Amino acid sequence: MSTPELRVLIVSPNPLARGGLAAMLEGMAGMKAVGSAGVPEAASLAGQLLPDVVLLDVGDGEIEDLDAIARLAGAQPGLPIVALTGEPGALTQALAFGASALLPVGVDSQTLAAALLDGSNRPSTRPRSR
């Protein structure tokens, strides 16, 4: 019996970044991008798709992007959120807003895959679709 693919929701304010992250996930064994969204629609889409983990690009750490972490965590308690940012100071802020893992933009695919898998293994009481 094979392990089900890890279902990842990609969230970024930048459509090009969403596309690039989706392409990166396509090349990773055991990963599946189940959807992508901008920041405003992320919580709603997470509720519809019930991903295993969210990959959230917080860009330069703008407050509205960081606030998306809190909105996602509030809308889907227990949903792991892996945050990517190019702003070193935003890494600490992302954790304070509720991210479960923090990575710098430009991280290699192996490190990204490990963070997504680690996040998905956290105990959770939220329902999962399979």
Radius of gyration of the chain (CA): 13
Which residue ranges make up each domain of the chain?
6-120
Please count the other Cβ atoms lying within 10 Å of the Cβ belonging to residue 98.
18
- With a cut of 70, say whether residue 111 has pLDDT above it: yes
CATH topology of domain 6-120: Rossmann fold (3.40.50)
Please count the other Cβ atoms lying within 10 Å of the Cβ belonging to residue 130.
6
Residue-wise pLDDT tens digits, 73-94: 888 888 999 998 887 777 778 8
Average pLDDT over residues 86-113: 85
- Residue 6, C-beta contacts closer than 8 angstroms, at least 6 positions apart: 30, 31, 32, 52, 53, 116, 117, 120
> Over the range 82-95, which residues count as b (16 or more CB within 10 Å of their CB) and which as e?
bbbbebeebbebbe
- Distance between CA atoms of 108 and 76, rounded to whole angstroms? 28
Residue-wise pLDDT tens digits, 42-69: 999 999 999 999 999 987 666 677 788 8
